[in-house]
Amino acid sequence: MTSILYRLSLRFVLTIVGLIFLGSTPALFKGTSLNLKGYWGSIESVLKQLIHFNHVTFTEYNAMKQNHYLLLPRLFNVGSFSIEIFILSFFLAFLIALLLTYITVLLPPIVIKIIKFILFLLESLPDLLVISIFQLFVIWVYTKTHILIVNIVAYGEHKVILLPVLVLTLLPTIMLYRLMILDFEEEENQNYVELAKGKGIGMSIIFLRHILRNAMIHIFIDSKYVLWFMLSNLLIVEVVFNIDGLLHFIRMHPFPIIISAGLIMMFIPIFIILAIGNIIIEKVVGHKVEV
Amino acid sequence: MVIKGLLRQPLFIIGFLFILILITTSIIYSLLYHGHVPQYAILTEKGKYMGSPPFKPSVIPPFGTDKNGYNMFDMIIKGAKYTIGMAILVAILRTVLATIIGVFYGSFLRKIHNVATKLFDAFNYVPIILILMFMLYPILMMDGQSEHYKYHLITRLGFEVGALVLLSLPTLALKIGNETMLILEKEFITSSKVIGAGRLYILKKHVFPHLLPKLWVQFVQNIIQVLFILVHMGLFNLFVGGTHAVFTGTGTELKSSSGEWAGLIGENYKLLSLTPWVPMEPLIMFALTIWAFNFIVEGIKKAIDHPYMKIKENIPKENQMTEKKSKSLASFEFLNKKPSSRNLVQSK
């Protein structure tokens, strides 16, 4: 166990260093020429500011007036909302995909093949297209029936939650669903499944007791990619629905300290999810699993 | 050999033909009309006023016009070569550079592998488009006041391509480096070393041939990635070749200076509820193009997996154990085994 904690903390520290390097990229170029000195200076100042993080302020221009605000409470406010819908969407997507996969593996092979192809097609849709289809659908329903199913854009005090979560859940569900079917099919060809079938055990029990456990490793490794994919979805969703979220906030305030701090804030919950998954899986499987 | 295998894959042929036709028509269009797009002003029929732009697809088939009366179909055909060309160019540079760096890294820099993977892991927790935005915004945007770009077209394009390549290079190079390490651990490499082969010889004769099919898959997958990024860049008003700001009576209007698809999305996305067809058409074209390239990837994968094409597979270390086990178990089989035993279980 010490070894996995050591590995995870090393990963945690090194990734944060990497994020700080990434956060200073706006200073990397001066015009079109490389500005390594400025880049290094920016990294240094970010490190200094991160140490005294509760004193860091940022400037906002409101009605031609410069206003200084403390960064910490603001970042926390916008961040908690983004992280909430992000994690909610991921777990929803994961559970729905798992449930669908459970139903799917019990279907005849030809149906599975068709489902796989449809998912393959759906997976290639740009997220912006899916979002626009959702928005157009809501507008179309409104013009036909005068019922506004959900708010499509946030304005003033009105928050939109349902539609962003829906959009943010849909695409990862499709991805995870397809990846899970592929992983399960790979497991299905293993000999222990054959043996279990030979013993006369029903498919759904084989699925729950045996395949699920073994396929989890692959699904877990795939999840990391899905989470990364969801991040850019989150940015698009925040911008299109005009949500006052973390990534939208970073976009409007492109200063190295805000980028670095914001990215670290987004990274920590994802890391926690992956770390817990990693620990559980290593316990169950009994050997090293690197994500 | 490879090409023959690919031609047997219907998915590959469909995808490849779609892209080929799209690019050729786009080039022919530019040669014929010199990039001129027909514009429709007020429509009249027998002296009666029939409407003004934007026109719906039903009025001006097949795709309608945008709010300035430009024919969307012509614009999409015209823009295809820039969008797809950009994606292919970036993907070529990414794959070639990442291969050079990755193979070097995999064969000489194994000691830093542990640290490097974790450090560059940061890229997996960042939406790349966010970083790209900060890098490209000052370069690509036209100054709204003077209506002049700060930089020359070639500089802008070069910088954009450079940024798109640079930001994906660490992850891709690590992936290829990892592959290289796996190949270098194989037994035939050891035997080759025992016979006296040098490092470069091994790279050329053993590592590269094993890497090549995977590189093809990587290449096309990178085209798809770039297309996804271009859609996002379109939303954020970062267009290939530069974002053109034009003052009109109602405000600043943003246009793509090359006329590629991302520009068609960006300038019209705000009008989604008013003129849904204008931003939707380039988005759908993006989706179709990504489908076509995904078809190509599937085709390549199947062609590689085809028994005639198989060169030794790279099995990750963990799986090697189960692989051996299954081989010894597979020697015992029922003679009258049915291909799918699942049906038997289910009917029970």
Q: Cβ–Cβ of A18/B290 closer than 8 Å? A: no
For residue range B152-166, what is the model confidence (pLDDT) as tens digits? 888 888 888 999 999
Interchain pair A124, B294: CB under 8 A: yes
The angle subtended at Cα B142 by Cα B138 and Cα B145, nearest 5°, is 115
**pLDDT (mean) for B290-295:** 94
Q: Give the pLDDT band of residue B269 (cuts 50, 70, 90).
A: confident
Amino acid identity of B104? F
Chain A neighbors of B290, CB-CB under 8 A: 124-126
- The amino acid at residue B344 is L
B119 and A251 within 8 Å at the Cβ level: the answer is no
Closest by Cβ to A203, choosing from B294, B329, B346: B346
- Round the CA-based radius of gyration of chain A to a whole number and report it: 23
For B164-195, the pLDDT digits (tens) are 999 899 999 999 998 888 888 888 888 888 88
**Do B131 and A231 make contact, defined as CB atoms within 8 angstroms?**
no
* CA atoms in the 13 A half-sphere facing the CB of A196: 19
Beta carbons of A231 and B135 less than 8 Å apart: no
Average pLDDT over residues B281-297: 93
Burial of B125 (0-12, 13-18, 19+ CB in 10 A): buried
Mutation for A interface: B134, B154, B284, most A CBs within 10 A: B134
Q: Do B120 and A18 touch (CB under 8 A)?
A: yes
Q: Cis omega before residue B62 (within 30°)?
A: yes
Q: How far is CA B236 from CA A144, A238, A241, B67, in A?
A: 32, 12, 14, 20
- Is residue A237 within 8 A of residue A221, CB to CB? The reply is no
Nearest C-alpha in B relative to A225: B124
Question: CA B295 to CA B297: how far, in whole Å?
Answer: 5
Return the SS3 of A217. helix
A71: left (phi over 0), alpha (psi -120 to 50) or beta: alpha
Give the dihedral sign, CA A16/A17/A22/A26: positive
Q: Measured between CB atoms, which of B121, B135, B340 is closest to A15?
A: B121
Assess whether pLDDT exceeds 70 at residue B326. Answer: no
How distant is the Cα of B130 from the closest Cα of chain A, in angstroms? 7
What does the pLDDT read at residue A31? 75
The yes-or-no verdict on residue B348 having pLDDT over 50 is no
Whether the CB of A73 is below 8 Å from some CB of chain B: the reply is no
pLDDT digits (tens, 9 = 90+) for B196-207: 888 888 888 888
| Cβ pairs A/B, distance under 8 A | 151
- Is the distance from CB of B286 to CB of B227 less than 8 angstroms? yes
Of B227, B279, B318, the CB nearest to A132: B279
Q: What is the ipTM of this complex?
A: 0.87
Q: Which of A11, A120, A239 sits opposite B118 (nearest CB)?
A: A11
Provide, as residue numbers in chain B, all residues whose Cβ is less than 8 Å from the Cβ of A197. 341-342, 344-345
| Number of residues assigned to chain B | 348
* pLDDT of residue B323 exceeding 50: no
Instruction: Tell me the shortest Cα–Cα distance from B128 to chain A, in angstroms.
Output: 7
Both tokens of residue A229? Answer: 């994919």
Pairing mode of beta strands B48-51, B243-247: unpaired
A129 close contact with B: CB closer than 8 A: yes
Residue B327 has pLDDT above 50, yes or no: no
CA distance B80 to B285: 9
Q: Which two tokens stand for residue A74?
A: 């603001």
Residue-level length of chain A: 291
Closest residue in B to A266 (Cα) is B125
What is the distance, to the nearest Å, from the Cα of residue B194 to the centroid of all Cα atoms in its chain?
A: 42
What's the pLDDT at B306? 67
Instruction: Supply the pTM of this predicted model.
Output: 0.85
Query: Contact at 8 Å (CB) between A101 and A211?
Result: no
Exposure class string for A54-65: b at 16+ Cβ within 10 A, else e: eebebeeeeeee
Element (H, E) at A4: helix A2-23
Model confidence at B310: pLDDT above 60: no
Helix, strand, coil fractions of chain B, as percent rounded to 5: 65, 5, 25
d(CA B298, CA B294): 6
Looking at chain B, the whole-number percentage of residues with pLDDT higher than 70 is 81
Q: Is the pLDDT of residue B52 over 80?
A: no
To test the contact with chain B by mutation, choose from A175, A232, A252 the residue with the greatest count of B C-beta atoms within 10 A, namely A232
Question: Bigger pLDDT: B332 or A54?
Answer: A54
Contact A259, B134 (CB under 8 A): yes
Q: How far is B47 from chain A (nearest CA, A)?
A: 33
Q: Which residue has the higher pLDDT, A179 or B55?
A: A179
Token digits for A113? 């093949």
Q: Which of A15, A110, A260 to mutate to test the interface with B (most CBs of B within 10 A)?
A: A15
- State residue B144's pLDDT score: 64
The DSSP-derived string for B69-84 is: -BBHHHHHHHHHHHHH
Q: Which of A244, A251, A237 is nearest to A152 (CA)?
A: A237
Q: B227 or B154, which is more confident?
A: B227
Partner B contacted by A254 (CB < 8 A): yes
Which H helix or E strand runs over B41?
Answer: none
Chain A residues touching residue B228 (CB < 8 angstroms)? 126
Identity of the amino acid at B124 = N
Name the residue of chain B whose CA is nearest to A260's CA: B126
Give yes or no for a contact between A166 and A149, defined as CB atoms under 8 angstroms apart. Answer: no
Burial per residue of A97-108, b for 16 or more beta-carbon CB atoms within 10 angstroms, e otherwise: beebbbebbeee
Nearest chain B Cα distance for residue A149, angstroms = 16
| CB within 8 Å: B276 and A132 | yes
Question: Which ranges of chain A have pLDDT less than 70?
Answer: 1-2, 62-64, 151-159, 291
Q: In this structure, how many other beta carbons lie within 10 angstroms of the beta carbon of residue B203?
A: 19
Phi, psi of A67 (to 5 degrees): -120, 135
Residue of chain A whose Cα is closest to the Cα of B292? A124
Phi-psi bin for B241: left (phi > 0), alpha (psi -120 to 50), beta?
left
Helix (H, G, I), strand (E, B) or coil at B40: coil
Please answer yes or no on whether B232 and A128 come within 8 Å at the CB atom: yes
The pLDDT, as a whole number, for residue A152 is: 67
Q: Which of A10, A12, A25 to mutate to test the interface with B (most CBs of B within 10 A)?
A: A25
- Return the pLDDT at A156: 63
Which comes out higher in pLDDT, residue B178 or B347? Answer: B178
What is the pLDDT at residue B2?
67
pLDDT above 90 coverage of chain B, percent: 22
pLDDT value, residue A146: 77
pLDDT band at B325 (very low <50, low <70, confident <90, very high): very low
Please, which pLDDT band fits residue B139 given cuts at 50, 70 and 90? confident
Instruction: Say if the Cβ atoms of A128 and B273 lie within 8 Å.
Output: no
Pairing between strand B243-247 and B252-256? antiparallel
Tokens of A273: 């999810």
| Per-residue pLDDT, B1 | 60
Give residue for tokens 């015992």: B332
Residues forming beta bridges with residue A66, ordered by sequence position: A61
Higher pLDDT, B318 or A36: A36
- Reading phi first (left if > 0) and then psi (alpha if -120 to 50, else beta), residue B259 is in left
Q: Please give the C-alpha separations between residue A246 and each of A24, A261, B25, B194, in angstroms, as whole numbers.
A: 17, 10, 43, 57
Task: For chain B, say whether A156 makes contact (Cβ under 8 Å).
Answer: no
A129–B122: do the CB atoms touch at under 8 Å? no
Count the neighbouring beta carbons within 10 Å of the beta carbon of residue B324.
10
Q: Do A126 and B228 lie within an 8 Å CB cutoff? A: yes
Tokens of B70: 């430009």
pLDDT on residue B312: 46
Mutate to test the interface with A, among B119, B120, B124, B125 (most CBs of A within 10 A): B125
